[in-house]
Amino acid sequence: MLAAGPFSDWTTVIKIVVALAASYWAILWLSAVIWTYRDTKERDSDNLSQAIAVLLVLIFNLPGLILYLILRPHETMAEAYIRNLETEAILREVDEQQLCYACQKHIRREFAFCPHCRTRLTEPCASCGQPISLTWAVCAYCGHERAAGLTIAKQSARSGGRKSSPAPSQAQPTPSPMFTVTPETPDDG
């Protein structure tokens, strides 16, 4: 009869190592499934795609996890929400900026004149005195028709889309007298 020898101890050790490796692998596999479930909840609100992702990792284990990591959305729903808020804030800021209709440079809404080309942008309403844009047909505050004549849109429509010459109040300032050249008149005598 054989006494308890080194081979009987090795088989027991191998069984223990295999059992530990299998339980470690099972824990990793279960952890990957749980992580995938939590990650899909953060990245997608569609229940079907969440179930497919979890089943992919559940059935195929590591290759399924690698495939999920390749195919998953690159940002969480919270990150997408924050990005959308930032985008809306930027668009709102851009929308608040206006362009001068003469030189197309950025101006503020409260400007009465364009600081770049000196074009008149607003005038006081004849009825209520509120500043109204020259592009408006009526005062937005009281509904009174603009007394200054044509709006900028009507002027450009009548001129066929060409830029019309600025009104006298919009004209560039005249140079000082020392820079003006006066034509010489011939002497009569």
* Residue 159: per-residue pLDDT: 45
For residue 123, what are the domain limits? 107-166
> Helices (H), strands (E): how many in the chain?
5, 4
The per-residue pLDDT for range 66-104, each reduced to its tens digit, is 999 999 999 999 999 999 999 999 888 777 678 888 898
* Residue 181: per-residue pLDDT: 44
Do 70 and 16 fall into the same domain? yes
Q: How many domains does the chain have?
A: 2
Percent of the chain with pLDDT over 70: 72
Which residues neighbour 33 within 8 Å (Cβ) at sequence distance 6 or greater?
54, 57, 58
Q: Is residue 98 part of a domain?
A: no
Q: Is residue 185 part of a domain?
A: no
| Residues 6 and 16 sit within 8 Å (Cβ to Cβ) | no
Q: Is residue 84 part of a domain?
A: no
Do 73 and 113 fall into the same domain? no
* Residue 48: per-residue pLDDT: 96
Do 74 and 15 fall into the same domain? yes
The predicted model scores a pTM of: 0.50
* Residue 35: per-residue pLDDT: 97
